[in-house]
Amino acid sequence: MQSLSPHAAHTDGGASNFYPDATDALTAGGASCETNDSPSNERSPHSAMARWLNPNPKAFLLAICWAFLVLWCVWWCTSFHRGVLQGGRHLWFQPPLFGGDFYYHIDRAARVWWNGGDPYGDRDYEHMYFYPPMVPRWFAWVNCMSQPAAMRVWWTALVAILTTATWAAVAARRRLGLTDIHPVVAVVLILFSTPVLFAMERGQCDPLSLLFILGALPLLKSRSKWAQYTAGAVLCLAPWLKVYPGLLAVGLLGLRRWRAFAAFAVAGIALALLDYDAIQRFLANQRFLIHLTEDMARLSTKASPWNHPLPTVLAGPLMGTKFQGLALPLGRAAAAALLLSLLSWVTYRVYRCPNRDALSYPFFLWIVALGTFMSPVSNDYNLCFLPLAALALWDRRDPLLVHVAMALLLLWWQPIAISIDGNAVLLLKLLGLMALGVCLVERACEQAQGTTRLAKGHALARGPVAARIKGRAQRLLSP
């Protein structure tokens, strides 16, 4: 009598002995059974309507982003036609002043300088010039056209610079081995961000610093010493647009680019000596602006949702007390201690990383964004570097509290104003800056570990074990 034990069933042919009909059916059915009855096909849409209602998530997201880009272009074309940013009263930055900074500061100063005048000569506050003396020279081209035409040209240049900077941030993500983001999605995230919209609505020149950073990056990667010197000289031009990118010098130290740092310092000193008188007038106007800002801070230390003067906000608790005279100096000291400690920590970890080239671009972005918090006059168009740094650094494998801080930062990142206290909004920006500092350190550690594993692999390939394996393979393959 045949055994019906599982072992006997297996040794005698298994299910084919007990279920010959089922076996024959499977053999005869073949691919038709797999096509009709597999679980994956039961879940997949069969009709054209069902497939249309179940689109590919990535393709669907990409289509939405393209639609947002078209909407963004229409929005700005309409705004240029009417001379005001449509819906601007619903955004974080107030009041709407379409092209105000470009018309009243950049364009006006360039035309005065071109005609032999002194941009710093007007002592009326509404027309006082607070930018470095190099700015009128960079914008001398405005004299070839009318003010509205110059604004359109500069706005187009801003779009090109910011789009290129966004693509560079996406490329930096790939070099760091982070989750890939489609460039179109990244461009939408940047062009709809609050600081970018603010800079473009005002016609600010802060994003021009991105052009110098992008131009210096390939030179920094070159082994030629003259390319290194040129990179430092190019980066030195950024502080001559706004002062806060001067912290790029610290970035060069963290990246161990000694020649570039030396060129940065020498070029900066040379430019200051060549235009010494204009520098003195610029510093005098800056002192006036700082004193005016401090007088306003004594009346109210609350930040507006569209600026982030950290020293003034930290001085707030002492305002109205008997220590009011020390409030602003202590606020500046506290802000400097906080920001410099964060900068020192991140710079040290980047300095220790053996593969620093992949960190160069996000490191520069983060450093420049940090520098804006120290200024007593710091509007959010200065922070256009922060979303770019987030795009290059933030990844889903980061710590939980980093995700919490970045989620809070998204409340400010999106441009629609929310009823939140200005100091609370500044705290969100500061937490976002700190979280990105942690992300930068995490990326530096990952790069260091990857380099260590690669070095161990090379050592193993050159070791005695590899030699024995190679010899055995040669003996087996020999005739």
Structural domain includes residue 113: yes
Structural domain includes residue 246: yes
* Beta bridge partners of residue 91, listed in sequence order: 416
Mean pLDDT on 55-67: 87
Q: What is the pLDDT of residues 75-112, one digit of tens each?
A: 999 998 888 888 888 898 887 788 888 998 899 999 99
Residue of 195, 187, 193 whose CA lies nearest to 170: 187
Structural domain includes residue 70: no
Structural domain includes residue 435: yes
Lowest mean pLDDT among 28-42, 117-131, 343-357, 456-470: 28-42
Q: What is the pLDDT of residue 476?
A: 52
Q: What is the pLDDT of residues 378-400, one digit of tens each?
A: 889 999 999 999 999 999 999 99
- Cα–Cα distance measured from residue 310 to residue 427, given in angstroms and rounded to the nearest whole number: 9
At residue 462 the predicted structure's pLDDT band, cuts being 50, 70 and 90, is low
Higher pLDDT, 449 or 452: 449
Structural domain includes residue 457: no
Structural domain includes residue 297: no
Structural domain includes residue 468: no
Question: Domain tally for the chain?
Answer: 1
pTM, two decimal places:
0.83
Amino acid at 458: H
* Beta bridge partners of residue 379, listed in sequence order: 307
Q: What is the pLDDT of residues 182-211, one digit of tens each?
A: 999 999 999 999 999 999 999 999 999 999
Report helix, strand or coil for 226: helix
Q: Is a pLDDT exceeding 70 seen at residue 14? A: no
Which residues form the domain of 110? 95-291+308-315+327-448
Structural domain includes residue 406: yes
At residue 404 the predicted structure's pLDDT band, cuts being 50, 70 and 90, is very high
Burial level of 298, CB count in 10 A (0-12/13-18/19+)? middle
Q: Express the helix, strand and coil content of the chain in percent, nearest 5 each.
A: 75, 0, 25
Q: What is the pLDDT of residues 141-188, one digit of tens each?
A: 999 999 999 999 999 999 999 999 999 999 999 999 999 999 999 999
Residue of 324, 304, 297 whose CA lies nearest to 423: 304
Q: Is a pLDDT exceeding 60 seen at residue 36? A: no
Residue 226 neighbours by CB distance under 10 Å: 11
